[in-house]
Amino acid sequence: MEKLNSSIDRSWIDKWNQPFILSGPCSAESEQQILETANRLNPSYVQAFRAGIWKPRTKPNNFEGIGKKGLEWLHKVKNSTGLMVATEVANAEHVKLSISFGIDILWIGARSTASPFTIQEIADALELEGANNKIILVKNPIHPDMELWIGALERLLRKGIRKLGVIHRGFYTYKNSKYRNQPNWNLLLNFRSLLPRIPILCDPSHICGNKEGILDIAKKAYHFQYEGLMIESHCDPDHAWSDAQQQITPENLLEMLKELTYIEKCDQKSERHLDSFRILIDELDENLIALLSERMNISKKLGSLKRSSDIAIFQPRRWKDIMKKSLTLGKSLGISEEFIEGVFKLLHQESIKIQNQIK
Ligand code: PEP
Ligand code: MN
């Protein structure tokens, strides 16, 4: 871990004295779409242009990317705008082709980071292509496993790749969540304390899954001193072939970036710690509410079953059992008995009320 931290080459990001902004469409669709989007991005605020060429789709029968010809369009963007260009790679062939078209930044997607075989294949291919000077950005794995994420960085480092960075794009959640991928600021704070030198970018587009939440997530990222953002932009977001709901126009992006620059200037350093704790508490509260909603939904189903089977709603033995288990668990986690008792009485009352309302 120490080796990883001390070997990181930050020159690619440190040379900008402003946040590093990587923007462009989720997917490359046509030459016209790529060139128009790139030309409408403001180069005073944006350093690199992104477009997915090979798209990892959860389900088959969706648009899976334009493939190799998209790399030619990215190459044109690089020559005509001077922006660096970036795409996602998920296997050795992607690496080879991207390098041959002069792609500057390769990012590894969340699904790939979760697979050590895939990471090893990418690292080997980078070595084979003599491409260890490229900037490689590693998105967090789908699930919050920090070791797996760090392991991916170590595999790349072992092949001499030092221009590394990571992207926080949120984590899969099975619960009701207002996010497409739940952010985990606390995990990222731990990540930073383990690896303080690695640049951290945030991808509010894939965290939110909509346009409306992007600015708020970007503000939080700046608050935690992330060094940049990856935000999806498209010349015609409503007609995008993938992730249409979350893409914004280059002009909307510029407005956001201007607001963020202003906020950064006004950010009171003295209040920063207080606000950090508030963000972490708000995140936990959101999770608690999602869990409460899930618990009450199960209570409803349980209530219907009890009704149809003619079983009494209130089951004293089961209630005693829940309380006993919760008190023991609470104690082992340092929570007072009185508090657990109060919370579980409320939960139980609400659950009984919900079950009684079922006809
Ligand atoms: C993307 O950036 O378009 C993408 C597929 O991201 P992720 O790997 O974060 O899902
Ligand atoms: Mn996308």
Please tell me the total count of domains within the chain.
2
Are 146 and 281 within one domain? Answer: no
**What CATH number should be reported for the domain holding residue 283?**
1.20.59.10
Q: What percent of the chain is helix, strand and coil (3-state, nearest 5)?
A: 55, 10, 35
Give strand pairing partners of 171.
182
* Ligand 1 probe mutation, 180, 203, 207, 233, most atoms within 8 A of CB: 203
Residue span of the structural domain in which 333 resides: 271-356
The reply to whether 232 and 335 lie within a common domain is no
Helices and strands of the chain, counted as H and E runs: 15, 8
The string of DSSP codes covering 224-241 is: TT-SEEEEEB-SSGGG-S
Residues 333 and 239 placed together within one structural domain of the fold: no
Cα separation, 103 vs 76, whole angstroms: 11
Q: Using CA atoms, how far apart are residues 107 and 156, in angstroms rounded to an integer?
A: 12
Q: Is the Cβ–Cβ distance between 65 and 30 less than 8 Å?
A: no
d(CA 114, CA 80): 35
Residues 79 and 218 occupy one common structural domain: yes
**Ligand (nearest to CA of 234):** 2
> Of the candidates 267, 296, 317, which is a domain's last residue?
267
pLDDT in tens, the chain (359 residues): 888 999 999 999 999 999 999 999 999 999 999 999 999 999 999 999 999 999 999 899 999 999 999 999 999 999 999 999 999 999 999 999 999 999 999 999 999 999 999 999 999 999 999 999 999 999 999 999 999 999 999 999 999 999 999 999 999 998 778 899 999 999 999 999 999 999 999 999 999 999 999 999 999 999 999 999 999 999 999 999 999 999 999 999 999 999 998 877 777 776 778 888 999 999 999 999 999 999 999 999 999 999 999 999 999 999 999 999 999 999 999 999 999 999 999 999 999 999 999 87
> What CATH number has the domain bearing residue 246?
3.20.20.70
Pocket residues for ligand 1 (CB within 6 Å)?
26, 52, 56, 109-110, 139, 169, 206
Q: Is the pTM of this model over 0.75?
A: yes
